[in-house]
Structure 1
Amino acid sequence: MTGPTVPRAAEPEAAAGWAPTPALGRAVLLAGLLLVAGVLLGRVDLIVLAAPFALGTAYALRRRPTALPQVWITAGDDGGPLVEGGDVTAAVSVGNPDSVDYDMVVLRSRVSPWLRIERAGFARDEAVDDVPPAATTALAGAVAPASGTGRSVVDRPFVTSVPTGSAVDLDLAGRALRWGRHPVGPAGARVATAGGLLVSRAVITEPVQVRVYPRTEPFEAVEAMPRAAGLVGAHHSRRPGEGGELAGVRIFAPGDRLRRIDWRVSLRARQLHVASTLSDRDAEVVVLLDVLAEAGRSGGVGRAASVLDTTVRATAAIAEHYLHRGDRVSLLEYGPAARRLRPAAGRRQYLTVLEWLLDVRVRSSSHEPYDQVFGPQLLSSDALVVVLTPLLDERSAQMLARLTRAGRFVVAVDTLPTDLASPKDRGWAEVAYRLWRLDREIMIGQLREHGVPVVRWAGAGSLDQVLRDVARLATAPRVGGR
């Protein structure tokens, strides 16, 4: 659980935060009118009738509160990283630092719509021994079942009581519907005490961010990388070295290891021979995220996905696959922010990738961000560049063409939703949509003619055929001009 941030107010400010309620005004007014009328009219019965109101008001105000309530929010993360579709827990707590019991606390909190809160209820600290019956009744009515109308259960106020020196937790439980940083809060509370004669001002606390990582879609690419450049890894290179693939048998030379001796060949040739192998090397994968445009509407996990949803989830899947194989993965944003994540390998890099993806946003720009994104010596000549783009901006197509002309190994992944609905307006809207679709298909055809493979993202096996073609081109002999 994240540590609570408890606001502490100064005594003068806290005392000034309490105000009389209309009930106090009515009690004082009624008691005063009865007393004045009894004295003027000489009616003792009116004075006796005013006595309970005066005595009851005085008794309720015998102990006045001096401190405002404390409100804080905690978000549960003890179960490990929270992924889309996982269970989310949080708590909004109200503390009573005063020496006066809070007769009624009205608590309300905002929660991100992407955090589907299905259960909410109060829980008390173990230090609270005796709970008044009125508070028990309030607690019983504060537990809300999940609404079947699609409305979150926190879209209403919760009422309870808080004894002195204790705290009450409003436990929230539900599901995370979409990746990102989602706020729980702000939360506010107002307190009534002294028999409902005094009420505090609203105490509001800052929201707490809940990190929801993207769900990794099934992905696996069995084809070899175009070119492996690292020292160790899972890809077979054409250079001799320590590895698992046999390159041939040669005569023993000084420096060769004895375990490499091929005794069958050595006995037949009457001279020591060793088995030579090809070195296993790692590759660098650069995942480029096109954030210039967005299309489609996100419906959360298991529902319709927008361009940004597909881009983020596909990036997480590709990064997980290649990092699991021992490759180095780096991330780049093609947009005005030009965010980047340096290449690295291992599980720590995977967690860093997930954290980096939480801040991916669509950022439109009026200028060409190519030179800003691809600075000098940013991309290795042996790296595989996987570009996730909806191809909605002409600058994205120009960027792919420039990377290919520069000799990079580029694979373009189309992230535009296949179920993108056409406009329903009458007139030329549907005709314009069809023309735009046709123009986009022509642009994709031109990219393929210029050597840019374009494939639609479909999870596992999406890049197999493309990687096979890119690897074949990388190993093919190049014809030099005279």
Structure 2
Amino acid sequence: MSSGPTLRPAVPGQRTAAPAGAHPWETPPPDWVSTRALGRAVLLTGLLLVAGALLGRVDLVVLAAPFALGTAYALRRRPTRPPEIGIGADDTNLVEGAALLGGISVGNRDDVGYDLVLVRTVVSSWLRIDEVHFAPGGAGSPEEAQPAPGDADRAGTRRRDATDRPYGFTVPAGTIADLELRGETLRWGRHSIGPAAVRAIACDGLMASQTVLSEARLVPVYPVTEPFDADEAMPRAAGLVGGHRSRRPGEGGELAGVRIFGPGDRLRRIDWRVSLRARQLHVAAMLSDRDAEVVLLLDVLAEAGRSGGIRGSASVLDTCVRAAAAIAEHYLHRGDRVSLLEYGPSARRLRPATGRRQYLTLLEWLLDVRVEQSPHEPYDQVFGPQLLSSNALVVVLTPLVDARSAAMLARLARSGRFVVAVDTLPTSATPPSRGQWTEVAHRLWRLDRETTIGQLREHGVPVVTWAGAGSLDLVLRDVARLASAPRPALR
């Protein structure tokens, strides 16, 4: 594992503040308490001794001697420190469908060994744990951990997750025992392993510790970047240098045409064949290579569909996050600037930048994307010139479920920006059946949505369904043609 677990003691060295409602002179509960087995041993020994003394029977006293000696021998060394527990996980570069390796460490800093330790934890439903291995004493080869007696499936059926039951093992004095959790990540996001609970039994089952809880460990799982590639030119490249063919003449690798030699032209650009035929110097005009800015606007006003993880169906949020990661990866690898915006109540924003660092920051930003429904109009200042450049390509990932999303696309188009809408609504998204008119109402809603999409296209907003590689090629081609077309002069 990349980072080891942090052991958390049950009782800190300093006294903690008393809970609300408790008396100031009330002492905290002890770390170790006696079990029912100790009470039964003391009770049985006392009854035998009292009966032997009252009845004058030596055999009852002799019969009580093994119980008294066994209890005294077991309690000769009592534990004074509670067990410690920590959760660790390999959280480096985990993506959907990757193998997961986690661990729960139980430490014993006392001089008395624990006869039995019961550990139980809670794991997110998007982290499937298939195997649990036990490493005794923190060393040696791991072995298959056994569930605690009485908690196994009585019907013999296989459980959904290996962490649905507690596990029991021994921890010698001064050692750390590890439970290794092996499984698979099913969906992107920040998922938790824990909290975990541990309880130790010592002194041959006569003493038990209080239950110790550990804080949950968040494991970041990054979305799978679907294959995406766009070969078309950007509508308007604004930078000085970059990897895109610009509509502006300059020093680049794309031939724009042949023209007459003029002041400032370089001699190496002279086309001698054309010059000899025309008997006048001509030069080859090139298009400049520039970088572009891509703004990914995520519509988080509504969610539809059911998320089934990496191997199941995709919801609106799944398609939105995975598509954003794929588009950003493509343009960042080409040297462009990419920024992220949320269209919702919080209006989160990631500033435009380039390079691998921006890509890693972008993935971390996507892990916190959540659907936020609000009756109020979302923060409208995100469309200001200080956040959205007039030369940027705005890719809006939206399901077009909320009427405010269509209005937002229309405002972007009227502002003169280059907008591409990516439809993230899955075809399998259907409402739950609640009556005989549900299907008819859903069909009418679909027709109304198709009408809205048609109106957006008439206003110059292309709407395309996300389909991975090549999804935006035809759309970018049309947008680039519109950007290069002459505009009428205002009088």
Please give the TM-score of this superposition, normalised by the length of structure 2.
0.89
Is 1:170 aligned with 2:179?
yes
Is 1:205 aligned with 2:214?
yes
Equivalent residues of 2:306, 2:313 under 8 A apart: yes
Segment of structure 1 superposing worse, 242-251 or 360-369: 242-251
CA distance in structure 1 between the aligned counterparts of 2:474 and 2:157, rounded to whole angstroms: 45
2:480 to 466, 471, 479: 471
Match of residue 46 from structure 2: 32
Match of residue 6 from structure 2: 5
Q: How does 1:31-430 map to 2 (within 5 A)?
A: 31-77=45-91, 80-125=92-137, 139=145, 151-247=160-256, 248=258, 251=261, 256=266, 275-430=284-439
Distance 1:127 1:226, change over 3 A: closer
Report the CA distance between 1:480 and its aligned residue: 2.9
SS in 1 for 2:306: coil
Report the CA distance between 1:429 and its aligned residue: 2.2
Q: Name the aligned partner's letter for residue 110 of structure 1.
A: V
SS in 1 for 2:253: strand
Q: Name the aligned partner's letter for residue 83 of structure 2.
A: P
Report the CA distance between 1:431 and its aligned residue: 2.2
Unmatched segments (≥5 aa) in structure 1: none
Equivalent residues of 1:335, 1:373 under 8 A apart: no
Equivalent residues of 2:409, 2:461 under 8 A apart: yes
1:17 to 11, 28, 31: 31
SS in 2 for 1:83: coil
CA distance in structure 1 between the aligned counterparts of 2:140 and 2:173, rounded to whole angstroms: 9
Equivalent residues of 1:103, 1:162 under 8 A apart: yes
SS in 1 for 2:406: helix
Distance 1:15 1:291, change over 3 A: closer
Equivalent residues of 2:296, 2:341 under 8 A apart: yes
Distance 1:264 1:302, change over 3 A: same
Segment of structure 1 superposing worse, 409-418 or 431-440: 431-440
Q: Name the aligned partner's letter for residue 54 of structure 2.
A: L
Distance 1:265 1:86, change over 3 A: same
Per-residue CA distance 1:289-331 (angstroms, 9 max, x = gap): 0000001110000210100000000000111111112111110
Q: Name the aligned partner's letter for residue 199 of structure 2.
A: R
CA distance in structure 1 between the aligned counterparts of 2:378 and 2:14, rounded to whole angstroms: 55
Report the CA distance between 1:275 and its aligned residue: 4.9
The Cα RMSD (Å) is: 2.7
CA distance in structure 2 between the aligned counterparts of 1:275 and 1:474, rounded to whole angstroms: 24
Per-residue CA distance 1:212-232 (angstroms, 9 max, x = gap): 000011111111111111111
2:467 to 458, 470, 480: 458
Per-residue CA distance 1:172-225 (angstroms, 9 max, x = gap): 011100000000000110000000000001010001110100001111111111
Q: How does 1:423-442 map to 2 (within 5 A)?
A: 423-442=432-451
CA distance in structure 2 between the aligned counterparts of 1:406 and 1:127, rounded to whole angstroms: 65
Q: Name the aligned partner's letter for residue 186 of structure 2.
A: L
Report the CA distance between 1:384 and its aligned residue: 0.6
CA distance in structure 2 between the aligned counterparts of 1:384 and 1:361, rounded to whole angstroms: 24
CA distance in structure 1 between the aligned counterparts of 2:263 and 2:212, rounded to whole angstroms: 81
SS in 2 for 1:2: coil
Distance 1:439 1:261, change over 3 A: closer
Report the CA distance between 1:236 and its aligned residue: 1.4
Please give the TM-score of this superposition, normalised by the length of structure 1.
0.91
Q: Name the aligned partner's letter for residue 467 of structure 1.
A: L
Equivalent residues of 1:128, 1:166 under 8 A apart: no
Equivalent residues of 1:237, 1:280 under 8 A apart: yes
CA distance in structure 2 between the aligned counterparts of 1:196 and 1:234, rounded to whole angstroms: 72
Equivalent residues of 1:423, 1:433 under 8 A apart: no
Match of residue 21 from structure 2: none
Q: Name the aligned partner's letter for residue 318 of structure 2.
A: D
Report the CA distance between 1:120 and its aligned residue: 0.7
CA distance in structure 2 between the aligned counterparts of 1:280 and 1:435, rounded to whole angstroms: 48
Report the CA distance between 1:276 and its aligned residue: 4.7
Equivalent residues of 2:383, 2:412 under 8 A apart: no
Distance 1:468 1:128, change over 3 A: closer
SS in 2 for 1:26: helix
Equivalent residues of 1:20, 1:198 under 8 A apart: yes
Q: Name the aligned partner's letter for residue 220 of structure 1.
A: D
| Aligned-pair identity (%) | 68
Unmatched segments (≥5 aa) in structure 2: 16-27
